[in-house]
Amino acid sequence: MDLRVAAYAVIERRGKILLTHWRRGHLHGWTLPGGGLDAGEDPKDAVVREVLEETGLNARVGRLLGVDSRVMVREEVPEGSDPELHTIRIVYRATVQDGPLQHEIDGSSDEARWVSLKDVGSLKTLSLVQTGLRLAGISRRGGGSGRGGQGRSGGGKGSGAAKSGSAKSGGAPKREAPKREAPRRETPKGDDSQGGATPGGGTPKASAARSSSGRSRSRGASRSGTKPGDA
């Protein structure tokens, strides 16, 4: 089994990612700029060299995003060779200086392009592209965090509603009011905490002021008797 160690860069700015088109025989696809290390070469130096060769841009290597290791079966190998390849891919964040893109000549890639993140899914890409975006925490659709945020927000609303409902049921003095005001029948009319306060809410005080009049007491009793649903 052959072993290949390579280094690549995730270069993203203004909602676009820098990709290169890889081609070998009838096999092809879009991938991250980068390539195999030369003997004794530092991975960061390999990234700078490969980005320049494949895109014509000068790169500045940032933090290490991760290392991807996998064994794959190659479709086209010389007769008698082992088709299995163990590839170790070192992925960095990087930036580039502004400038025109230049396609590589006589290399493994034939085109360089800034691709909008929302359009990545419409291209034929190698697995390395998705690996790089995942390691960099970049959503190719641009909406994945939004949906996640909605989920959290939705949960927040649900818990908030539960708290609100609990506060209403725990703090409502509907059952306690008659105990504090008993035996007055007019009390529910004047109890604002029940949400049942009406212009007749002042009736208890008026009835007390007119308690010396038998006719007033009779009227007060009549009112309380006509609206039993207020209690």
Give the whole-angstrom CA distance, residue 197 versus residue 63.
66
Q: First vs last Cα of the chain: how many Å apart? A: 87
Print pLDDT tens along the chain (231 aa). Answer: 999 999 999 999 999 999 999 988 788 999 999 999 999 999 999 999 999 999 999 999 999 999 999 998 887 778 888 889 999 999 999 999 999 999 998 888 999 999 999 999 999 999 999 999 999 999 755 433 333 333 333 333 333 433 334 334 444 444 544 455 444 444 333 333 334 333 444 444 444 444 444 444 444 444 444 444 443
Report pLDDT digits (tens) over 48-76: 999 999 999 999 999 999 999 999 888 77
Question: Rounded to an integer, what distance in angstroms lies between the CA atom of residue 157 and that of residue 152?
Answer: 9
- C-beta of residue 128 within 8 angstroms of C-beta of residue 32: yes
E strand segments, the chain: 2-10, 12-13, 16-24, 27-31, 34-36, 59-73, 84-96, 109-116
pTM above 0.85, yes or no: no
Burial of 39 (0-12, 13-18, 19+ CB in 10 A): exposed
Q: Token match 């014509």: residue?
A: 56
